[in-house]
Structures are given as C-alpha cells and as structure tokens.
C-alpha cells in the first residue's frame, strides 16, 4: 500500500525516526519527544501517541519538518 499523509501511525513514525538516529528524550502525557541530529543540526521532534489511530495529516507534516528528514525517505 502506498504511503500517503493520512495513514501513518505512531509506530510507523517512530520506526523511521529511530532508523535515522533519533532517540526518545522524554514524554509528557501522550506526547513523545525524540531528539537527534540530521546534517549536523540538532532536532527535537514531538510525536503524539493515541493508540493505533492515524496521525492527522497536518500533524504529520509538522513532524516531517521538525525531523529534517527528506520527503523522499518518508514516502520512498
């Protein structure tokens, strides 16, 4: 199945982040904060966890921008 903006879950996002060197920094309620370095720039990414439900497309776009990982990697 082709990946689009509206069918990503928490676990899918965390898998990509961990593959690119991000590590869990802390949690606050249902939000998990990951930190890592992409291209020598320190990044902090907030990922909401709401069970197995999909992350909203606008939130997912913000995660992509926060992470600094290229769109080709996310959707490739």
User: Which residues pair with residue 23 across a beta bridge?
Assistant: 35
Q: Return averaged pLDDT per consecutive 10 residues of the chain, 76 residues in all.
A: 80 96 97 96 96 94 96 89
CA distance 2 to 69: 19
pTM of the model: 0.91
Taking a C-beta distance cutoff of 8 angstroms, is the pair 16, 74 a contact? yes
Predicted pLDDT at 2 = 58
Q: Is residue 75 part of a domain?
A: no
User: Is residue 25 in a domain?
Assistant: yes
Biggest CA pair distance of the chain: 33
CA–CA separation, 12 vs 62, rounded Å? 15
Whether 29 contacts 75, CB under 8 Å: no
Structural domains in the chain (count): 1
**For residue 61, is it within any domain?**
yes
């Amino acid at each position: 199945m082709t990946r689009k903006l509206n069918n990503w879950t928490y676990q899918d996002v965390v898998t990509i982040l961990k593959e690119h060197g991000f590590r869990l920094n802390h949690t606050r309620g249902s939000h998990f904060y990951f930190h890592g370095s992409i291209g020598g720039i320190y990044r902090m990414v907030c990922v909401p966890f709401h069970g197995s439900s999909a992350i909203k497309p606008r939130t997912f776009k913000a995660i992509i921008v926060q992470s600094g990982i290229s769109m080709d990697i996310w959707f490739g």
